[in-house]
Structure 1
């Protein structure tokens, strides 16, 4: 695993596109049909030092994670693994890198938004120690993210999760 570079931006976008194809089988084709995160947004995460890639044996990126600071917490913006490389601990290692990054910056909580009922979303994060945050405890920034995300689909499908690191 390594920090992402500008040379990885298009690969990161392709990883997201490939990973999103899995949503078709769950009747969530609109996720797969959507555009991956824009070049500019990914490049900004790279430039901030908040993007990591896992690479295969020849150095080709196969997974990535991006994070931002939101309301005083590390917020996992995106975690994607090429499906052919899934279920091998790659995503877990990337989440670990995000947690380490957060701790080094004095951020004691990692938050994220995800689908409640997709096996590799909320159930996966639960196994990593994340817990669903009740709506009454959502921060303003998280509320804004959920509002942006659910403009395109039913809000009940999304949850906010958090993991205390300290």
Structure 2
């Protein structure tokens, strides 16, 4: 049986939060194949406290394995009339099995239910599991003049945190 078929996606619960930083650290190991981004593999991840805050906000889901342990997660916040995706991470040994796609589909369905106009996110360009992945889901890369003030601020915060501006982009999936 395929590993992905044994995965359940459900809303994140507070009991899941302590394990999510480890999932994000594991997912970040994929960046070691890009020398200029390899530092991300050992960089900061969302803290347990940040996960609890995002869970409280209502836009957080986990992919759970058969042992009820998270192997992936997606979390976001509401900005204006959009759902902004803060982070999507899948544990390294579960990557490439459709789990990120399933998490994104649950987020899309919920965003439609909530009446969001769009889903937005920021990501790396030219990284196959980043911009290319989101394009395969129907996201459009935004030009600088298409950035909302909130997305502009988020991108500036990412640069301040050390992410290379020239490799970043914002994307949008229109829902309405």
TM-score class, shorter-chain normalisation, is over 0.9
Note if 1:128 corresponds to 2:137.
yes
2:33 and 2:114 map into 1 onto residues whose CA distance is 39
Corresponding position of 1:115: 124
Corresponding position of 2:58: 49
1:78 Cα shift?
0.5
Does the 8 Å contact 1:64/1:94 carry over to 2? yes
User: Unpaired segments of 5 or more residues in structure 1?
Assistant: none
- The count of corresponding residues between Structure 1 and Structure 2 is 166
Query: Runs in 1 of length 4+ with deviation above 6 angstroms?
Result: none
State the TM-score, normalized to the length of structure 2.
0.90
Corresponding position of 2:152: 143
1:11 and 1:153 map into 2 onto residues whose CA distance is 25
State the TM-score, normalized to the length of structure 1.
0.96
Note if 1:68 corresponds to 2:61.
no
Corresponding position of 2:175: 165
Corresponding position of 2:3: none
Corresponding position of 2:43: 34
Does the 8 Å contact 1:53/1:63 carry over to 2? yes
Q: CA RMSD in A?
A: 1.1
2:82 and 2:103 map into 1 onto residues whose CA distance is 17
Does the 8 Å contact 1:70/1:142 carry over to 2? no
| SS state at 1:110 partner | strand
Note if 1:95 corresponds to 2:117.
no
2:167 and 2:66 map into 1 onto residues whose CA distance is 37
User: Unpaired segments of 5 or more residues in structure 2?
Assistant: 1-8
1:38 and 1:84 map into 2 onto residues whose CA distance is 22
Corresponding position of 1:82: 91
